[in-house]
Amino acid sequence: MTSRPQATQGMNRSGSLPATPPVTGASRLPALPIFEQVYEHGGMATIDRQATTLALAHALSAAERGLAVIPLSRTKLPALRSPHRDDPDPAGRPCHSECGRFGHGVYDASTDPVRIRELFAAAPRATGYGIACGLPPYHLIGVDLDTKSGTDSSAALRELALRHLFTIPETVVVLTPSGGRHLWLTGPPDTVVPNSAGRLAPGIDIRGAGGYLVGPGSRTDHGVYTAAPGTAGLAPASCPPSLLRLLLPPPRAPHPTRPAAGDHGQGLVQFVLAAHEGQRNTRLFWAACRAYENGIGPALADPLVAAARDTGLTEREARATIASAARLTGHRP
């Protein structure tokens, strides 16, 4: 059997995340049951049946706590295939379970024990369960500290905490078979936290609205997900406001208008027009970077291309240079 990562009660005593003072009378819920079985006889079919039974028991326990769940396969994907795989909507409109059938991934998630049993009955090969994020009452946010990318995601989170002045409170922590950890936090009911992979920092993925977390007790191809000792009975803690701001997308900039003569954009165009041979790409790249940084990159792209062509660059060369400037400044060309 594979060895499990060692953990002490709560994250803060492990020394891998910022410490917080103990909270007197911290909210606790009935602990998630941890079933451990060693299957020595009966073959794979028996193992899968027993694993499905255990996964259902864990899922029902989570639902009692108000967590909406779905059955998962050994690959951590939803165990039920889409009912629309052979007859997709011609208009490309996704069905989010409005048709009443199973097989819509996280949109099947429920806290109703009758529906959960029906879901697992329709997925006899399920060996785990997923917990939907973003739904009431917790509006769950999952912070996935991965180890597969070769980066120290815990150190990255500590650095973010120091830089932005927040601490991670004691909360539910789930240990993954690969040595990673999932931290469960709650968000405000009026805030939609999007899913992201590596945007916060390398090795840190976020599970928000429309995403799910693999629940403790789930058995996968790589091992079993387990609750860290001392955390299974905790209620998910509130996401620190400073961290929450980092998880939300930046506000969308107003749609830029085409720069008029005399505007800053026209000055950038003139800068490109004044380029001599040997300066053309460099000046164009610099001007395009400034344009994107000032929110006028898309509107100024064509005037910059025209100016670059006047200096002797081809349209293809000019557009490639502008696209490089867009990527460097974090925009789509």
pLDDT tens per residue across all 333 residues of the chain: 444 443 333 344 333 343 333 333 345 554 444 333 333 444 445 557 888 999 999 999 999 999 999 999 999 999 999 888 877 665 566 777 778 889 888 999 999 999 999 999 999 999 999 999 999 999 999 999 998 767 899 999 999 999 999 999 999 999 999 999 999 999 998 888 999 998 899 899 999 999 999 999 999 999 999 999 999 989 999 999 999 999 998 765 554 444 443 456 888 888 889 877 767 887 888 888 888 888 888 888 999 999 999 988 899 888 988 888 887 777 766
Label the pairing between strands 181-186 and 219-220. Answer: unpaired
Whether the pTM exceeds 0.75: the reply is: no
pLDDT at 45: 53
Query: How far is the C-alpha of 159 from the C-alpha of 154, rounded, in Å?
Result: 9
What sign does the dihedral 20-24-27-30 (CA atoms) show?
A: positive
Structure tokens at 202: 């390398």
Exposure string of 61-97, with b = 16+ CB inside 10 Å and e = fewer, is bbbebebbbbbbbbebebbbeeeeeeeeeeeeeebeb
Separation of alpha carbons 333 and 328, rounded Å: 10
What size, in residues, is the chain?
A: 333
